[in-house]
Amino acid sequence: MQLSFTLPVPYGLAARKAAQEWAARMGFEHPEVVHYQELTDGYTYFVMFGEATQTVDYASLSDEGFDIEYMTEEEIEAFAGEHIGRPVVVVGAATGTDTHSVGIDAMLNLKGFHGHHGLEGYKAFRTHNLGSQVPNSVLVSKAIDLEADAILVSQTVTQQNLHIANLTELVDIVEAEGRRKQLILTCGGPRVSNELAKELGFDAGFSKGTYPHHVASFIVRELAARPAGAASPAGEPSANGSGAANGAGSTGKDG
């Protein structure tokens, strides 16, 4: 396998030998440095190859439902139109003291990133991006007011496991409001995994390498699979006969 890393050692032959010894102690057989260069004084970057001695049971991981069948933007639109029949309402924010809005903006805003539209660009979604440093109570209250189908939380700050406490608090608030069965809860961030998210009470977690259509695929599939009584009433006809399905597009970032 190939691995790359940086060691706090000055560039030179001794650094190369240190990298090989470190890899050997990590359990790699026949480790070989194929590239190394100085990053700055006292730090050297390495690219290595080695034979891994540890194994994982890939089949068991797949069977546990870690894989999500992702759809393209066009497939998501078609799936939502056929199986849901109304705009899916999503409310998102970077909550707690987290000031980083790049992740939530990439998922929800029209621009998205890497050429992938955010959920705001989908006809199947109505999105409400509350931005950063949003208290969990405010996010949940907004979701209830909008009769949202899903909440998306972004967590970048992880010092002292702040993200764990913050994500746990959000689930507790949703449950206290009696809305857990009605809301799809998703979260994402550099140190968020699907396993961690489910352990904390969320329906799914997304980490590095996630694109908006990954999140959208999960939400529409999850919403379509839930019993009709558990879905948000956002699409039910109002007294004048018009439903939320008549709403147009997304709302972008809320004030």
CA distances from 166 to 90, 98, 157, 161 (A): 19, 10, 10, 9
88 strand-pairing partners:
125
User: Where in the sequence numbering do the catalytic residues fall?
Assistant: 111
Mean pLDDT by 10 residues, the chain (255 residues): 96 97 94 96 97 85 65 96 96 92 92 90 96 96 97 88 92 96 95 92 93 96 82 42 38 52
Q: What is 2-52's CATH number?
A: 3.30.30.60
Which listed CATH number (3.50.50.60, 3.40.50.150, 3.40.50.280, 1.10.10.10) goes with 63-237?
A: 3.40.50.280
pLDDT of residue 230: 57
Distance in angstroms (rounded) separating the CA atoms of residues 219 and 88 = 9
Cα dist from 229 to 146, 174, 203, 220, 245, whole Å: 17, 18, 18, 16, 17
DSSP state of 8: S
Rounded CA separation 200/143 (Å): 19
> For residue 149, what is the DSSP state?
S
Q: Where are the domains of the chain?
A: 2-52, 63-237
The pLDDT, as a whole number, for residue 98 is 86
